[in-house]
Amino acid sequence: MKTFTDKVAAITGAGSGMGRSLALELARRGAHLALSDIDEASLTHTAIACRALGARVTSQRLDVADRDAVFAWARDTAAAHGKVNLVFNNAGVSLSVPVATARFEDVEWLMNINFWGVVHGTQAFLPYLTASGDGHIVNTSSLFGIIAMPTQSAYNASKFAVRGFTEALRMELELAGAPVSCTCVHPGGVATNIVTASRIDDSIAAFTGIDAQTHRRRANKLIDVTSADAAARQILAGVQRNARRVLVGADARRVDKLARLLGASYQAMVVWFYRRSAMSGKRSADAASARTAATESSTH
């Protein structure tokens, strides 16, 4: 797909982050949009901004975990726009918790959105993309679909699953000679609200030596590497060159090279890093407790 002019793109998670940036960038390039998000207020803001850029826009509050709702959205999109050329299965959530203390309902919640949402979106839109004669599927995995990290087992599982699903799909489409291709996206640190909206289990403190609030603050700092707008441009460039995968950000490219170089040995480096971080967190907590105790003592 060399141009997005007059193409129709469906985007999940379009209310904020990369989804919103993709919608705005596609509108600037002459595409028309079918937008969805579970947050209706933020979705409305994105739709208004895209219409102001001249795009024809439909929007739908949508939970991508609801298979029937996703299929209905695909049908409605094709009916409203006359065709669908692209689907960006972008919606995602995160969960930080050690395996031993993970609650099944939290893991199921994450998998239903991050993995099954991608499956639902792909299967729902594939017939319409094929009928368009020029279709493309873009599935969002993660840097954590390349390497694994402690406390991220569920997130890793979902993003590794998206990677495998998308790579298999790409080969199937090529074998079938379909007029549809697909790309797997692996963002590194992208400044979005995914950490702010994430679920962080209280047991994280005992495992890492860092309380949930500090964990969230540090994670937000770590992902502030690539802007969502820059990520959107990199993703669309990948679609235009029909890339099998897109590594978003210099950090993603570095980690990919490291994983290729070290193989499974990268895990020892991660364990060392976490042990160091846990010790640092414990020292910080002890220092804070000492300051509190000294303050209380001076007031008596």
What are the start-end ranges of the H helices in 11-94? 17-28, 40-52, 67-81
Is the four-CA dihedral 210, 193, 36, 61 of positive or negative sign? positive
In angstroms, what CA-CA distances link 220 with 189, 215, 246? 9, 9, 22
Active-site residue (options: 128, 155, 266, 274): 155
What stretch of H or E contains 174? Answer: helix 153-176
In angstroms, what CA-CA distances link 114 with 66, 68, 145, 203? 12, 17, 12, 23
Residues 6+ apart with CB under 8 A from 264: none
Residue showing tokens 């797997």: 184
Q: Catalytic: 155?
A: yes
Length of the chain, in residues: 300
Distance, in Å, from the CA atom of 236 to the CA atom of 25, rounded to the nearest integer, reads 9
Distance, in Å, from the CA atom of 138 to the CA atom of 273, rounded to the nearest integer, reads 33
Q: Which DSSP letter does residue 227 get?
A: -
Catalytic residue positions, numbered: 155
